[in-house]
């Protein structure tokens, strides 16, 4: 039989186990947002990529001139003077212009960055820096007498292409803008050289440009994906923060409203009970004709109806006040060692007359020699009476109500009440366990109640640190269990030996 529990005494108006009606809409909005975030034409990501490229170029503003100066030093050592110095000046000027554009873009706010203008300025600056490499591809070395000078130039250009592909991968087209013209110039200059080494080196240099362009493209897409993931993460964090703030605010207001309601009801005990006691007293006097006979029989019936209705209203007010005190934390337990079997047996005797009137038999099954329980006797009595009242009210006439008291598997004690009534549908158990909640079958088959008995039982059990469980199956009945924790079971102390006890008395 399935086991269902309720951890709160608040009324469940909406079944939270069902999916929210807006879940499909939320998923559709999230999917559309993901698609928009991953589109390459997203201006926010284009700005982020430009800012990333600007930071990268600004960080290597010193490394590239160092490489240029190293090449210039090697050229001077090989005997090149005017050509290598001119190339150094042109190359440093081109990279200085690129560094200025990068610093300007890096200092500009991301939201104020003009995407098209900044991209155009970067591509122009890369083209200007490539002019120096064009000059490098065209210079010769007649005085240095290096047999493999053309091969050395190809290797230097290959290293420069690889470095630029890694550094400038955030800007699409930067590699082509920088080295398309230098590679073309090198190929045209080396076209009259047909030695095998120069042909192989030239072919490698020509193929390296599209190869590193593909590598730079993959790195660009990886950067775009990382940016989209970061943007989505930031958006989700913002949504979670907003939802948490709204949830905290709503919970705070609900707690304040619930606490105010509970305090109000808890403080209205005297104001509500005083007029009801007067109504009950006067109606009972009139119904019983204490001060003299009442000639009109209808008036006597009205007085009885007023007394019955007032008693029902007083019971309802008492249950509401008990539940309100529990929710407000103002229910004080008067704990003492009690024998649970004795308390439950007294409650069974109290319910015996009502059960007999409904042709229901109460069967008791108590485990023997149960130790005392440290609990509030009034609360335990109220728990038992509420469970017995529900069982007798909903049990089918001619059946029996089984009341059990015993050990739990964990070493605690339990009170179980089982009836053979119509049972409770699984989807209605959360409603039954809520304040003022009643099952549809129970309403049709039994007298109407207040719907506060089980919430009060849950609250009282929770105050004792225990658990309340409800087992039910349609057309087979319901079993309610009030479980007290092992910490409240008072184990009997072992008896002292006879000689020791006699010695202490002496």
Looking from the CA of 376 toward its CB, the CA atoms found within 13 Å total 16
Which of 415, 416, 429, 418 lies closest to 396, judged by CA? 418
Contact 452, 27 (CB under 8 A): no
In what side-by-side order are the strands of the sheet with 361-366? 3-4, 467-473, 477-484, 413-419, 400-407, 361-366
pLDDT-based confidence at residue 325 (cuts at 50, 70, 90) = confident
> How many CB atoms within 10 Å of residue 333?
13
> How many CB atoms within 10 Å of residue 49?
22
Report the helix count and the strand count for the chain, using DSSP H and E: 16, 8
Contact 345, 388 (CB under 8 A): no
Q: How many residues comprise the chain? A: 506
Q: Residue 347: which residues within 8 A CB-CB, separation 6 or more?
A: 381, 384, 385, 388
Element (H, E) at 405: strand 400-407
Q: Give, as one character, the DSSP assignment of residue 417.
A: E
Element (H, E) at 375: strand 373-376
Tens of pLDDT, residues 370-394: 899 999 898 898 899 889 988 888 8
Tens of pLDDT, residues 94-147: 888 888 888 888 888 877 878 888 888 888 888 888 888 888 888 877 666 566
Give backbone dihedrals phi and psi of 178, rounded to 5 degrees, phi first.
Answer: -85, -40
Which of 191, 195, 71, 188 lies closest to 138, judged by CA? 188
Tens of pLDDT, residues 189-220: 766 666 777 778 788 888 888 888 888 888 87
Place of tokens 């409770």: 424
| pTM of the complete model | 0.47
pLDDT tops 70 at residue 164: yes
Tokens representing 23? 């879940």
Helix, strand or coil, per DSSP, at residue 143: coil
pLDDT-based confidence at residue 450 (cuts at 50, 70, 90) = low
Which range, of 23-32, 322-331, 407-416, averages the lowest pLDDT?
23-32
Average pLDDT, the chain: 78
Which of 329, 331, 332 lies closest to 259, judged by CA? 329
Residue scoring higher pLDDT (451 or 246): 246
Which of 207, 90, 195, 208 lies closest to 151, judged by CA? 195
pLDDT tops 90 at residue 287: no
């Amino acid at each position: 039989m399935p086991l269902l529990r309720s951890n709160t005494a608040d009324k469940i108006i909406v079944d939270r186990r069902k999916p929210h009606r807006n879940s499909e809409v939320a998923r559709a909005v999230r999917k559309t947002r993901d698609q928009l975030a991953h589109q390459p034409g997203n201006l926010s990501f284009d700005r982020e990529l430009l800012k990333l490229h600007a930071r990268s170029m600004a960080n290597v503003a010193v490394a590239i001139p160092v490489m240029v100066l190293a090449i210039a030093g090697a050229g001077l050592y090989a005997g090149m003077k005017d050509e290598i110095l001119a190339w150094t000046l042109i190359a440093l000027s081109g990279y200085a212009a690129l560094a200025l554009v990068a610093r300007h873009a890096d200092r500009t706010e991301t939201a104020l960055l003009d995407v098209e203008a900044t991209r155009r300025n970067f591509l122009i600056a890369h083209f200007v820096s490539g002019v120096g490499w064009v000059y490098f591809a065209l210079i010769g070395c007649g005085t240095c007498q290096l047999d493999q000078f053309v091969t050395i130039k190809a290797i230097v250009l290959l290293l420069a292409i690889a470095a630029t592909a890694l550094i400038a991968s955030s800007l699409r087209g930067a590699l082509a803008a920088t080295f398309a013209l230098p590679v073309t110039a090198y190929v045209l200059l080396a076209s009259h050289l047909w030695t095998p080494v120069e042909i192989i080196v030239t072919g490698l240099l020509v193929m390296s440009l599209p190869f590193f362009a593909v590598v730079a493209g993959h790195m660009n897409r990886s950067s775009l994906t990382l940016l989209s993931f970061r943007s989505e993460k930031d958006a989700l964090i913002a949504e979670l923060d907003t939802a948490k703030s709204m949830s905290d605010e709503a919970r705070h207001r609900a707690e304040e409203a619930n606490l105010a309601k509970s305090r109000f009801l808890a403080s209205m005990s005297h104001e509500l009970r005083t007029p009801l006691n007067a109504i009950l007293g006067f109606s009972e006097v009139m119904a019983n004709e204490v001060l003299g006979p009442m000639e009109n029989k209808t008036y006597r019936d009205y007085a009885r109806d007023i007394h019955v209705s007032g008693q029902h209203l007083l019971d309802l007010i008492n249950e509401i006040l008990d539940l309100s005190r529990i929710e407000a934390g103002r229910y004080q337990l008067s704990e003492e060692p009690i024998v649970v079997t004795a308390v439950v047996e007294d409650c069974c005797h109290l319910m015996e007359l009502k059960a007999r009137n409904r042709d229901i038999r109460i069967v008791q099954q108590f485990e023997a020699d149960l130790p005392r329980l440290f609990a509030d006797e009034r609360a335990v009595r109220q728990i038992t009476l509420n469970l017995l009242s529900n069982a007798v009210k909903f049990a089918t006439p001619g059946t029996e109500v089984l009341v059990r008291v015993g050990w739990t598997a964990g070493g605690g004690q339990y009170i179980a009440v089982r009836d053979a009534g119509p049972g409770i549908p699984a989807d209605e158990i959360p409603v039954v366990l809520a304040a003022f909640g009643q099952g549809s079958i129970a309403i049709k088959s039994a007298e109407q109640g207040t719907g506060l008995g089980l919430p009060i039982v849950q609250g009282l059990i929770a105050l004792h640190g225990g658990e309340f469980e409800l087992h039910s199956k349609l057309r087979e009945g319901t079993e309610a269990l009030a479980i007290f924790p092992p910490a409240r079971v008072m184990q009997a102390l072992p008896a002292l030996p006879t000689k020791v006890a006699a010695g202490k008395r002496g």
